[in-house]
Structure formats: structure tokens, C-alpha cells
Amino acid sequence: MNDQDKLFRRKLIGGIGAGLAAATILPVIPVSATGTNANAISSALENPATKYPKPPFKNQVQPWPALAGKMDPVPDYGEKSYKGSGRLAGRKALITGGDSGMGRAAAIAYAREGADVAINYLPAEEPDAREVVELIKAAGRKAVAIPGDLRDENFCKKLVDDAVKQLGGLDILVSNAARQQIHDSVADIPSEQFDWTIKTNIYAPFWLIKAALPHLQPGASIIGTASVQGYDPSPDLFDYALTKAATVNMVKSLAKQLGPKGIRVNAVAPGPIWTPLQVQEGGASPEKQKNFGGETPLGRPGQPAELASIYVQLAANDASYSTGQVYGAAGGGGQP
């Protein structure tokens, strides 16, 4: 060891010693629940197993498409709980299926994180959509409501164009809207129903992404909603499950294609989440609805609010190395 190294070593050890000595004489400052140090402490722990309602749920069926406001219990979308911190300040987001489910939770969270938000939904879902628009405005952000059927390619192109025009650009595309119907056998699925599911769940994201790409700059995000059904399909959700497996593959392929352009592509894979998909006519069997989510280790279905922060994270700058990823939220069951 030369003289310079010895000198550096003495300074380093001396510095550590001084720091330790200072630590031993610093007073212990109690943290008051109302003091300034309270901000540095996380909120009280919550038991995830008992945080939200558990089955059995009462049987309920609504005509398609079901409305969140008429569900019992009404899903939690984070209206009262989600607190923003400016993580998406100035961003401009388009969310399909933004009236309810994970789309609604994402829309609320995005607005409270500082983003302007356009939501798409079916005209029959207007009552739910109006509530979301008011929540976005209450967060001080611009809200754009664009109803329409995603099975129409021309509408998908117009949806993106209208969102870009009214928002002044586009940074985040969340392709969330989906069609789900149960059938005991593949032989029972009419071709028109199969076509409906495929067009809503696969064609629409394809059309939307194509239309959005010219507007997306480096740093933009595309986020899909996959499902545990894409990994572990239920026998009565054959067509829905195969579209969710395709969503996973779409995300991974596009991430490789768009990575060099600086555009990230990811997905969220929910497990059993309490949304209108479960109570719409043909969305779930009476027995499955009654015990919905009970098979998970947490013993209950998830609430859309519990996934909102994942959608935020996948759009935020600090997730810049996450692309081609599928983030699971399934209460301890399922994959990924």
C-alpha cells in the first residue's frame, strides 16, 4: 500500500468513526402523529384479506353492458382513497373501457397524478362515464368523453384522432375494454359471439395502436389489460381466455418492436376483480358469482382501486426499464 492509499484509508476510517460518534450523541426525537415527521411514515397497515368484501355475494344480473353504479356491493375505484403526487404531470392519456373496472380506476389515478384523460365507453354506459368525467375534472384535469363501439375500425381511428385533438397530444394508451361471456362448451359459442369477443379484445387494440403510433413520442407508454385467464384459462371462458393469451403475446412482441423507438409496452394481468363483467348477463355463472374470488389465498375478489397504482407505475418515468412485462394482481393465485 503506497502513502496515498494509506492516507485515503485513514481519512475514510476517521470519517466513519466520526459519523458513528455523532450518531451516538444525537437525541432520539419522538415522532408525533401530528408532528412534521408524520409525513415520513406510511399509513397504518391494512390486512389485505379483510380490506374488502368477501363472498358469498348475492346473485345479481344486469342487462349487457352492466353498470358499476348498480352493483352490490359497488366496486371501489379509488374515488376516496387514491392520492396523487404528480407522477404523470402534463401527460395525456386515452383509456378504453374508462367508465368502469380497471379503466375507471386508472382514469381516476391518472388525473390525480396530473394527467389529462380521455375515456372511451359504450353509449349505454353513459351514467358511469359521467361520474368518471366529473372525478377527472374534480382533480383539476381535462376530461374528454368519447363514446363508441370499438368493433368498428373507422371508429377506433376516429377515437385516437379525437383524443389527440382534444387533449393536445397523446402520451399514454391504455387498451382496457373487453368482452366476456361464459359458454360451457366451445360448441355452444355462436360465430357472431366469437367474432364480437375477438374484435373487442384483439382487433380493437390492434387498430388503436396503429392509429396512436404516429402520435407517440419516446417515453410514451402503451398498456394492455391481460388476465390470469391468459395463463390459466377457465373452461367456460374459452374465447375470452384465448384473447388474453394473445394480449400477453402482443405486449411482448410490440415491446421488442417499439423499444428502439423509446416507447414502452406492458400489461396488467388481473385475477378475479369485482367489475361489471361479473354481473352482466352471461358474464359469470350464478355459482361463480356467488363465490367470486373466494378461491384465492386472500379469500376475496380484488377491487379495481387495488390495481390503479400498477397502471400508474407502468406509465411513469421511473419505470423506464419495464417493457414487455406483464404485472400480475391476483390475490395470491394465478400467474404471472
Q: Which residue has the cell 400489461?
A: 267
In whole angstroms, what is the distance from residue 128 CA to residue 97 CA? Answer: 11
The pTM of this model reads 0.87
Q: Is the pLDDT of residue 43 over 80?
A: no
- Residue 264: φ, ψ to 5°: -95, 145
Is residue 1 scored above 80 in pLDDT?
no
- The residues, any chain, with a CB within 8 Å of residue 110's CB and separated by 6 or more, are 88, 91, 93, 95, 117, 172, 311, 312, 315
Q: Which of 82, 110, 231, 240 is catalytic?
A: 240
At residue 281, the pLDDT reads 87
Q: What is the pLDDT of residue 334?
A: 78
Q: Which three cell numbers mark 216?
A: 407517440
Confidence of residue 132 (pLDDT cuts 50, 70, 90): very high
Whole-number Å distance between alpha carbons of 136 and 131:
9
pLDDT of 39 strictly over 80: no
When the candidates are 3.40.50.300, 3.40.640.10, 3.40.50.720, 3.40.50.80, the CATH number that belongs to 73-79+88-271+302-329 is 3.40.50.720
Statement: residue 291 has pLDDT above 80: yes
Please give the share of the chain, as a percent, with pLDDT higher than 90.
82
Q: Which amino acid appears at position 79 of this protein?
A: E
Q: What is the pLDDT of residue 23?
A: 37
Does residue 284 carry a pLDDT above 50?
yes
Query: 92 has which bridge partners?
Result: 116
Residue 240 falls in the annotated catalytic set: yes
pLDDT at 31 over 50: no
pLDDT at 94 over 50: yes
User: In the chain, which ranges are continuous DSSP H helix?
Assistant: 3-25, 101-112, 126-138, 153-167, 191-198, 204-212, 238-258, 286-290, 308-315
Q: What is the pLDDT of residue 42?
A: 56
- Residue 209 pLDDT greater than 70, yes or no: yes
Q: pLDDT: is 65 or 159 the higher one? A: 159
